[in-house]
Amino acid sequence: MDGRTDEASKAAGNVKKNRYKDVGCWDQTRVKLEPVEGAGEGDYIHANWVEGVEQPRRYILTQGPMLNIPGYADTTADMWRMVWEQGVSVIIMLCQVVEQDKSKCAQYWPTVKGAAQIHGNFSVFCKEAGDRHIADHTIVLSNLILTPINGGEGRREICHYLHSNWPDRKCPPSAAPIVDFLLKVNKAAKTLAERQGLSPGKSPLLVHCSAGIGRTGTLVAIDIGMGLLGLPNPRLSLPHIVLQLRRQRKFSVQTPI
């Protein structure tokens, strides 16, 4: 598409970091991890920048992190490394850890108040957790504290939203709860970023499902459409939104044939 390439995702050292072998990651828009001195770690993670309305780096779209899958790399530490480096304050997860007896995403965050996990150089602590209900949709909200263990200062509060009512390869019965969910998330993201001294342009929304293209691309397309409708004299074209998404995140808004 327009001369775009996905060579980094095919590199020998990166292939095991891809959850799905047939889903590449565009080189032109991929998020690059910062070098770790003396660790010999590369900059690759299966994630792409996506533009928002009047915000060049509004979103990060990524795959569900992997952990303890034979033949694949563990990528949970890379996920939290990216969250820290890019100033992410809000994570939106659109899949279950397991769906139809298949692993869709690692349990990369603690879900019980007071529990903690270690991923690479980061400690992830659960400050609060509980369900929120929007119409017939259930959102599991976890308030997390992310802290570097070595070679870093400070800590950051992260809101993790798990949307548990969006089935794989299907659409929710109604779009209204999705719109309401996005309005609430965007408001919370703005408040949280400001509280931590991060401008909106420096605190992207991180969105993922399992591959990070189907449900993830659809949610972001809806959010972009809502943003366009808020402009004076809005001009909204859903095909154009999807086309631009696919130029930034390969295969976005996936549908079964």
| Residues annotated as part of the active site | 209
215 and 166 Cβ atoms separated by less than 8 Å:
yes
CA nearest to 141, candidates 123, 164, 168, 174 = 164
Those residues with Cβ within 8 angstroms of residue 159's Cβ, 6 or more apart along the chain or in another chain: 89, 90, 91, 141, 142, 143, 144, 188, 189, 192
Beta bridge partners of residue 208, listed in sequence order: 62, 93
- Encode burial over 29-59: b for 16+ CB neighbours within 10 A, e otherwise: bbbebeeeeeeebbebbbbbbbbbeeeebbb
